[in-house]
Structure 1
Amino acid sequence: MSHPSDEMAQMSTRELLTATCGQAAIFTAAGAVIWYLSGRDILTFVTINPHEVFYGIAIAAGMIATGFLLFKLFPRFSEQLIRDQAHSLAFLKNKLGTGSIIIISLCAGIWEEAFFRGGLLTIAKDYLPLWIAITGTSILFAAIHLAKMKVAFLIGVMGCVFALLYLTLESLLAVMIGHALYDIWALWYVQNEMHRLGVFDDVKTTVDAASELG
């Protein structure tokens, strides 16, 4: 069975963006439906005001600064994290332009927050203890990224952070903006590091060697 990222890696940029936008539309709608079925007013699913936009930008700035600092303080661990994502981010092999990175990141920030925080977390906390709702939805958030253990753990932690920010600020827009802007930086950084380190060359060599042994 092929890994979903293998199929994504074979897509043209247009096909990748089309699939990404389609996925975002479906799961954003699903999050809104869950919100509505929980008995809440659909018009309050996402509210828009300057304060929420400011909070979103502040969240992104804090996360980018933290990520950049961690990458610089722990270079060996950071390199291993980059290499561990070679399979799950195989679509970065054909280097994406800035516009494509922005579109993919915006889609991810919107649908992941709409579905996991606005939808699943919202309804889960109606029926479960808060810590279970946060932990459970964050584990699911990590699982859908199909990443290796270290990366999945960090994604799960980020899911908990987004959940706490969402519950504290009571703003889906703020976490959407923060998530999307952070993803723009993270995807750009990871892509550049993968190509600088020759990660995809290493993967190809490993695959070729395995084929010869087979």
Structure 2
Amino acid sequence: MASVFFQVLSRMPRVLSATDVADFRDRLCEAAERLFAEKGPDAVTMRQLAAELGVSPMTPYRYFKDKDDILAAVRTNGFTRFAEALETARGSGKGANVGEAYVAFALEHPDTYKLMFDLNQPNDDSYPELVAAGQRAHDNMSAWVKDRIAAGKMTGDPEKIGAMFWAATHGIIVLEMAGKLPKGAAQDLRNLLTVTLVKGLRPGA
């Protein structure tokens, strides 16, 4: 009787602690980020994600509703880490550090960057945490522009100016990632374009 009891007990699903859940979600998101970036989200299945972690095909469903849920979590994590990097750079008090931090993050985490900016989920609004993380990243990308305008070093619409810097910076990053620019060129060009744009945006320029 005792042996039967222990056999049944051993087959019962283990109760997961909050730490267990967080650890598995992190591992799943890490694997998903790589596969999504390599193959594109549409080509990745939940079964493939499970295989990457060596678990049963149904295991990921214990942690996420579906693949879109995983993609949203991956992108939310990316935007959050990106925003933190920009906030740290801005907190240093040196405006140039924000641009350097942007390029450094993109080149150090190319898979994350691609998923953040090279695609949109059609149901973004279904994930409030993703929307909030994306807005936080956007706010940080333009915050230093507002700092420069407040200090009298630039003049103009901060949103439009921020979009110009963003478009130019994103462009040179993508070119370096694609091998169209030599390694390190994105950071050098970012320095040059910042100086050039700031010069043209000075009051009375």
Instruction: Mark yes or no: TM-score above 0.5.
Output: no
With structure 2 as the length reference, what TM-score do the two structures score?
0.28
Greater fraction helix:
1
Which structure would you say has the larger Rg?
2
Q: Which has the higher contact order (CA 8 A, sep 6+)?
A: 1
